[in-house]
Structures are given as structure tokens and as C-alpha cells.
A and B are shown apart, each in its own frame.
Chain A
Amino acid sequence: AQSVTQLDSQVPVFEEAPVELRCNYSSSVSVYLFWYVQYPNQGLQLLLKYLSGSTLVKGINGFEAEFNKSQTSFHLRKPSVHISDTAEYFCAVRGTGGGNKLTFGTGTQLKVEL
């Protein structure tokens, strides 16, 4: 089984500032890692994913994340945020074997202020 910990429930940041949303996972098997974004009253949209290869993954809207196996982390970063980035961000993990379910963290609310 896998689990995900998102330590920060809320992250306030000023527009054009950099941001990092933290994610740590636990798993006894190899994993795939994902970040999803959820805007108010909408479903989840995939931001980026790590499957294998380069540990630095680039996604949509200027976001990137780095997989760190030794620290079991997959932190999400953006060098300069915009008001439109205000949303809930979920880190998720799935075992690479067939049939493993996608397990989500509790989410981090990113609030971008002027």
C-alpha cells in the first residue's frame, strides 16, 4: 500500500513570487507520482507526472516537480506564480504494478495574493 503526506494545508504567496508545495510518499514498491490541480467547483486536472527517467519533470502552466527517491519526496515548484494559480493541489502516488490504485494526499490550498 502507498500513502502520501502533504504537510502544508495552505500556502499563501504573493503574485510573481516563487512557490514550493511539499509532498512526501511512502511505498514498499516502485511508484508513479502525480500532481493534480483542482479549481473551485471543478474536477481534478493533471499538472504533471513522474513515471521514470529524468527526476525533474515539467508540467503545464509553468509548474515542475523533482522526484527524490532517497527522501521519498516529489515537491512541486513554480518560479513565479500568477493569481490564476490559486487552487487546491493534490499529490498522488500509484504503484507501478497493474491494479494498484491512485492514492491522494489531503491537498494544499495555494492562495496567490496581489
Chain B
Amino acid sequence: EAGVVQSPRYKIIEKKQPVAFWCNPISGHNTLYWYRQNLGQGPELLIRYENEEAVDDSQLPKDRFSAERLKGVDSTLKIQPAELGDSAVYLCASSFSLQATGELFFGEGSRLTVL
């Protein structure tokens, strides 16, 4: 079974440029998460989707960040314009929401460097 797939793995951009990350969750997982992991820190939730609905986006900086999951499967996270402080690893995860275990399966992440 394929795991969570993310692309690109690495992205280097100059500040004020836009950037987008893509995530394809595990087949059948209706819950999708975007986390941001700063260097030396644990992941922090940006947004959580149940199917195509964003049910928790309280930590998403909405002035520059946006996300979508139009068909309830894959998702895109966008930053526009990027700032130096956005340099981090952006992790996508998925889970089967009807399971009470709460186990998340993570992709390998997209490492963003903003110059």
C-alpha cells in the first residue's frame, strides 16, 4: 500500500515569491493534516480536513497561507508571498477518522528554504 506522497521534497525560493506543496494521502483516509516543523521543533498543526471540509484551521496564517482539498482526496498548501520565517518542513499526514486511535501516517515532507 502506498504511503502519503508529498511533492516537491525540496524547494528554494526568494522571499515574496509564491510556493505550493502537494499531498496525496493514503487511499481511503478521509482526514488530512498539514503540519509545519521548524528546525529543532516538533510539528505544529496548520490545518485539518475531514473530507473536503477544513474543520480546524485556527493555526493557519490566513493572510499568506491557503489550502484546499477540493475533491476530498489530495490537497495543496500555498504560501503567497513567502517570508524568511516560513523556512521549515511542511508535513502532510492522513488518517481514517472513524478510527478512535488517532494514528496519523506522515509523508516525507517538503523542505522549504526562503532566501
Chain A residues near B (Cβ < 8 Å) = 4, 9, 32, 34, 36, 41-46, 49, 51, 90, 92, 94, 96, 98-107
Contacts and interface: CB of A to CB of B under 8 A. Distances in A.
Given A104-B42, A107-B40, A107-B42, A43 B100 contact: no
B68 interface: no
Interface residues of B, number: 25
Nearest to B6: A43
A43 B109 contact: yes
Contact of B43 (A44, A45, A96): A44
Interface string B48-60: 1000000110000
B108 A106 contact: no
Contacts of A101: 45, 48, 56
Given A106-B41, A107-B41, A99 B56 contact: yes
Nearest to B43: A104
Contact of B106 (A32, A43, A51, A103): A43
Nearest to A106: B42
A74 B43 CA distance: 19
A49 B105 CA distance: 13
Interface of B: 4, 33, 40-45, 48, 55-56, 91, 93, 97, 100-109, 111
A16 B53 CA distance: 48
Contacts of A90: 42-43
A102 B107 contact: no
A105 B91 contact: no
26 contacts: A4-B42, A9-B40, A32-B102, A34-B102, A34-B103, A41-B111, A42-B108, A43-B4, A43-B106, A43-B108, A44-B91, A44-B93, A44-B106, A46-B104, A46-B105, A49-B101, A90-B42, A94-B102, A96-B100, A99-B56, A100-B102, A102-B33, A104-B44, A106-B41, A107-B40, A107-B42
A92 B44 CA distance: 11
Contacts of A94: 102
B105 to A, nearest CB: 8
Contact of B45 (A44, A45, A102): A102
B25 to A, nearest CB: 13
